[in-house]
Homo-oligomer: A and B are copies of this chain.
Amino acid sequence: MKLIKKVNILIVGLGLLGGSYAKGLKKLGFPISAITKEQSSVDYALENGIIDYGTTKIEPEIIGEADLVVFALYPHIFKKWIIENQQYFKSGAVLTDVTGVKGCIVDEIQQILRNDVEYIAAHPMAGKEVSGVENSDENIFKGANYLVVPTKKNTKEAIELCSNLGELLGFAKVAVLSVEKHDRMIAFLSQLTHCIAISLMCANDDPDLVEYTGDSFRDLTRIANINDEMWSELFLSNKDVLLEQMDIYRNTFDKLYDLINNNDRDGMREMMKLSTKRRREFNKKV
């Protein structure tokens, strides 16, 4: 199956990401249906031409028409949804998702899933500090990375289809990596950075801080404005890997602390030179 315009796409969960997928794919000409929790999300999406059809109910016919189903749900809801509704999938349908952790769901879902349906995991590394379909925007994918996370059970065709989806959505880069590598990378790059932002914001309750702040503090704490329900689930879903990455970072922070404490200017400058050299590689390529 190639991702051509007659492919019917079903989005399950019309929030910020689900809505952004719908917007981007609708503009490309795909027929888009959606199943989501709130009628207000369906109404908004229909009024704004983001979807062709939407419902808050499990409608077997709608599920059965979909060639590609994108799950934009919390991990535990995703699992429950599959268990309860997988009988309605079209034979040969491909499922994918947007979940930020993989180890806790990919194997399990592939085990419980019907044999004639394939689930290929993906992680679009894009977001905003606001949620809901009302804030969805397909431009958040520009310049961002899209990760395809296959297991041994996945076919070459599904990996290609899923990669193709990322390209069509406008991601700057599509990469394919294993579940283990994905979760380790995400623990460091995304979960740890959220832990740091939360800690910074909670560490100091001086109300005057806001008067004296600069861009550095704003940049480091942008993601401290966080969906606590989702992120507490993501942290615990990847707990061991996250704690390991937190330890690695903390050791480095402690090293810098000791260098300052020991007036070791050369040691500090070495770390700064290394951080400068490495950081330059990370400038966004749009």
Contact = CB atoms under 8 A, between A and B. Distances in A.
In the complex, the 9 A-B pairs of residues with the closest C-beta atoms, listed nearest first: A228-B272, A201-B275, A125-B214, A203-B252, A224-B275, A199-B253, A228-B269, A224-B279, A198-B275
B239 A275 contact: no
Counting contact residues on chain A (CB < 8 A from B), the size range is 35 or more
A8 to B, nearest CB: 30
A275 B225 contact: yes
A55 interface: no
Contacts of A214: 125-127, 144-145, 189-190
Interface string A193-223: 1111111111111101111111111111111
Contacts of A211: 145, 173, 175
Given A185-B208, A197-B220, A242-B260, 13 more contacts: A175-B211, A185-B206, A193-B217, A193-B219, A198-B272, A201-B274, A201-B279, A202-B275, A203-B253, A219-B223, A226-B272, A226-B275, A250-B254
A243 interface: yes
A33 B12 CA distance: 64
A256 B192 CA distance: 11
A188 interface: yes
| Interface residues of chain A: helix, strand, loop or mixed (majority) | helix
A200 B190 CA distance: 12
Contacts of A235: 260, 268
25 contacts: A125-B212, A173-B211, A188-B203, A189-B209, A195-B253, A195-B260, A198-B271, A201-B275, A201-B278, A202-B256, A203-B248, A203-B252, A209-B282, A216-B222, A216-B223, A218-B282, A221-B282, A225-B276, A231-B268, A232-B268, A239-B261, A242-B260, A243-B257, A250-B250, A250-B257
